[in-house]
Amino acid sequence: MFASGRERTTSQVTSYRHNPWMAKTRRGASGPLRWTMAALSVVLWAAAEAPAALQNPGFDDGGGSLASWTTFNNVIPNVLAAPITPRSGTHVAKVFGAFSGTTNWSGIYQSLPTTAGQVWTVECHVRHNTGDALAGANELAVKIEFYSVAGGVWGSSDFLGETVLPVLDNASPRNTWLGRSVQATAPAGTVEARVALVFTQEGDAAGAALVDDVSFTADGEPPVLDAWRLLWHDEFENPTVDPGKWRIEDLHLIKNNELQYYAPDEVYVENGDLVLRSRQRTYWGFDSDGNWGRYDYTSGLVETRDRFAHTFGRIEIRAILPWTQGMWPAHWMLPSSGTWPPEIDIMEMVGHAPQAVYMTHHWGVWPDVQSDGGVYIGPVFAADYHTFGVEWQPGRLDWYVDGQVRFTSQTEVPTEPFYLILNTAVGGTWPGSPDGTTVFPQYHRIDYARWFVRGVRGDITGDHVVDDADIAAFGDCMAGPNATPSPVSGIHCVACTTTFDFDGDDDVDLEDYAALQALYAD
């Protein structure tokens, strides 16, 4: 949310699967909660067969080369491995135009076998440098392509479809490695998935794109041997915002050239949602430097600063996002120490591109701030509720959208307590100002915010030990083999249908009890 430099992105819609984590439903406008079978469960995923791996992802093989990659329209040559400001290792892929006088395309690709239904993710870092920066309409795009035969020909009957994400153009920040990610699902009939990095040159415009550290992976659901335990949450079922959980901002924050005043009356609870409303209206108030001023827009910000902070966990927010030109919704986190950086951005979206959500984290020492992040192109996130989350653990950050990993970083992962911030900015360097296409008011509707922590598999009582109390808790929730659990007394009346389902078959029975006994014996 502090960062302001972002790239234009357009893409076909990539598919996603239903979020397996718990969801909240209501009877009427604000009736009682119920938890789905996935809530607080021990998740036992079946490990998928490992696909073939991408070769020479950093272009360092053989002392620097494009080995294992296929080039196209490499006529000058204008596609090569070069020792130019590598992000890691010694070389990068350098791609530029063919200077043919007409629009031309050049680049590299590599293919891997797949089956229909596999979700493929490309992650890479891109860059252009002062002195050879992209000019005109030149741009670099990342593509995932699918083919019905091995070695398929693009544009022929072999070609089944593609997802395209422009990742670098003349407006992109220079001299900086930018993390990018795109994801797509293999359609029926697919036998081969291909990652391609495509440079478009128009009118002999100058500049070269650099690429490093490419990964191309299919989804696999590895075994998870421990459980998530709900540590802190707000379902917004009370009629007003809980001041014990949230601090409501009343200030204009001077950052990113944003235009809004964060006004308390733009934050309220309605029908079980936290609502952050954004309006165009005249408002007077103080800024973060103590100056009194007039503002043309108001919006809402809540945070758990001085209320709740924690190190590591799975943080998850379900929301409908505001959109149209100039809107900038975000779910993000800052350290409770008050320093910046670091920062973890769970989700950011700019209103003119409502199908793209950005996932980033920042580190370093000001002004030498560095970032790693990705963008996921999906459905229109302003049209319905979607779940945005991050799993933060030592040495690793995994970002989720609708229950699927969309980006991963293992670089400079923070290890201090963070608090949660939910807000909508109006205007700013990245989204730009509202214009004649902007619709007001806008509503950022948040269904819930939840913070989970790792538990121990089989630790039903949450004391991080599998002991007699857990065995007793299982018996308390069990009505009988292959029967719907109906606790008659005791401690786990809400979660017994989920916490006790060790084999993941949505049925709590004697097989689950045997699994718990085995853990207890260990």
Provide the annotated active-site residues: 343, 348
CA atoms within 13 A on the CB side of 419: 17
Query: CA 71, CA 80: separation in Å to the nearest integer?
Result: 9
Tokens of 361: 């984290």
CA atoms within 13 A on the CB side of 203: 6
**Residue position matching structure tokens 């986190």:** 333
Q: What are phi and psi of 471, to 5 degrees?
A: -60, -45
Distance of CA 89 to CAs 56, 63, 410, 478, Å? 11, 10, 16, 56
Do 508 and 501 touch, CB atoms closer than 8 A? yes
Query: CA 304, CA 421: separation in Å to the nearest integer?
Result: 7
- 272: nearest Cα among 20, 441, 27: 27
Query: CA 186, CA 151: separation in Å to the nearest integer?
Result: 16
Cα 126 to its chain centre, rounded Å, is 19
Tokens of 279: 């309006």
Do 359 and 390 touch, CB atoms closer than 8 A? yes
* Bridge partners for 93 per DSSP: 81, 211
Tokens of 31: 């009736």
Mind spelling out the 3-state secondary structure of 270-295?
A: ECCEEEEEEEEEEEEEEECCCCEEEE
Query: CA 123, CA 232: separation in Å to the nearest integer?
Result: 32
Query: CA 186, CA 53: separation in Å to the nearest integer?
Result: 17
Give me the helices (H) in 140-211, please.
Answer: none
Tokens of 8: 């234009």
Query: CA 151, CA 369: separation in Å to the nearest integer?
Result: 42
* Bridge partners for 230 per DSSP: 452
